[in-house]
Amino acid sequence: MVCFKELAQEVKEEVIAWRRDFHRHPEVSMKEFRTAERVEEELRKLGIAVRRHGDTAIIGILEGAKPGKTVALRADMDALSLTEENDVPYASEVEGVMHACGHDAHVATLLGAAKVLSKVRDRLPGKVKFFFQPGEEVAQGAKLIVEAGEMDDVDAVFGIHVWADLPAGRVSVEPGPRMAFCDMFKIQITGKGGHAAQPHRTVDAVVAAAATVMNLQSIVSREVSPLDSLVVTIGKMDVGTRWNIIAGKGTLEGTVRGFDPELQAQAPGIIERIMKGTAATYRAEAEMEYAKLTPVTMNDPELTEMAADIMRRLYGEESLASIPKQTGSEDFAFYCEKAPGVFAFLGVGNETNACYPHHHPKFDIEEDVLDRGVALYAQFAWDFLTGAGK
């Protein structure tokens, strides 16, 4: 059996250097051109075959010495439209763009795993596919890779997300739903505008919109079991132009999050019923655009236990932590619809520099634990392909 703890230590400094390079050169979703070029360059140095899809999706293929199963390891590459406020040597050099979610660490860590796995390819059965994915923040990259057929031969898929709310080095890997489905909707309310002094001659879109916002809150409180989790949030309300004009049109934009696929299926119909009924009460009309962005990220129980056992073997029982399922979403879920999958959280928080939440302009990570991510990626692939984890 190969133990990747030591091998991960050997590439640790290189992984940190890669992470800092990617952090200095962040790129927004679906435009990760430099990142993709650097990833492809490093993979080819390792003798790993590369396929591209779209402009920036990079798939590395490591063929083992003999036939076997196929495992996919995934990292996302995109950054956020945010101005960095950290005073560090590796701060973003791109104005208004920052790696504020840790995807730079994901890319570097998966490159480290590719390097250590390439060292044992002569003993490796089957195939490892490395998914360097664009566009996670806009829920486009995983679908691109799935639609390209890259999951068709995959027997298991594994991903890691660095997590600021976990102490550095601890890992949460737990079965069942781990991240919520994410839907987005836009409601267009149409009334009849007019003078603010003559409301009886109008159909007030402001009143209809405000009532719709309030009535949608009853979905969670009165239509969903209190034992289930659901979020219905209106994040944007655009109605009216001037203090003395009654608005004839208004727009609401919002999101629905939850962990039950059945609730995800029911949500559009429930929202449409409430919005149309509410609008009609105020003599207005309402139409909706609805998009299902991501499914629930669901961890396979057997593979989850394998990943947890890897952490116990490599770093001890104390390396495992438990955190609640998250109402944020992940397009990693699309991979889990095609094959059993596991999504783990690697703690990178500390009390000095890495104490800010994801998507914050001062977000940073404890780099010293990235070797644990390398080891977990690589050991998961090895154990799954060789059966060592059973």
Write the DSSP assignment of 2-65 as a string of letters: --HHHHHHHHHHHHHHHHHHHHHS---TT--HHHHHHHHHHHHHTT-EEEEETTTEEEEEEE-S
Q: Classify residue 265 as exposed, middle or buried by CB count within 10 Å of its CB (0-12, 13-18, 19+).
A: exposed
Q: Say yes or no: do domains 4-178+296-386 and 181-294 share a fold.
A: no
> What is the CA 13 to chain-centroid distance, rounded?
26
Percent of the chain with pLDDT over 70: 99
**Closest among 10, 1, 2, 8 to 374, alpha carbons compared:** 8
Residue 2, pLDDT score: 82
In this predicted structure, the answer to whether residue 389 has a pLDDT above a threshold of 70 is no
Q: What is the pTM of this model?
A: 0.94
Question: Which residue ranges make up each domain of the chain?
Answer: 4-178+296-386, 181-294
227 three-state secondary structure? coil
163 three-state secondary structure? strand
pLDDT, mean over the chain: 97
pLDDT in tens, 6-51: 999 999 999 999 999 999 999 999 999 999 999 999 999 999 999 9
Backbone angles phi, psi at 2, to 5 degrees: -95, 135
Q: Average pLDDT for residues 343-360, to the nearest whole number? A: 97
In this predicted structure, the answer to whether residue 269 has a pLDDT above a threshold of 70 is yes
> What is the CA 351 to chain-centroid distance, rounded?
25
In this predicted structure, the answer to whether residue 1 has a pLDDT above a threshold of 90 is no
In this predicted structure, the answer to whether residue 261 has a pLDDT above a threshold of 80 is yes
pLDDT in tens, 213-239: 999 999 999 999 999 999 999 999 999
Bridge partners (DSSP) listed for residue 249: 190
pLDDT in tens, 176-216: 999 999 999 999 999 999 999 999 999 999 999 999 999 99
In this predicted structure, the answer to whether residue 388 has a pLDDT above a threshold of 90 is no
The amino acid that residue 72 corresponds to is: A
What element of type H or E holds 309?
Answer: helix 301-315
Q: Average pLDDT for residues 258-283, to the nearest whole number? A: 97
In this predicted structure, the answer to whether residue 283 has a pLDDT above a threshold of 70 is yes
Q: Which CATH architecture has domain 4-178+296-386?
A: 3-Layer(aba) Sandwich (3.40)
Percent of the chain with pLDDT over 90: 98
The CATH T-level fold of domain 181-294 is: Alpha-Beta Plaits (3.30.70)
Q: Average pLDDT for residues 93-115, to the nearest whole number? A: 98
Angle at 266 between CA 250 and CA 275, to 5 degrees: 20
Q: Beta strand 66-76 with 156-167: parallel, antiparallel or unpaired?
A: parallel
Cα(110)–Cα(331) distance, integer angstroms = 18
Residue 247, pLDDT score: 98
pLDDT in tens, 144-177: 999 999 999 999 999 999 999 999 999 999 999 9
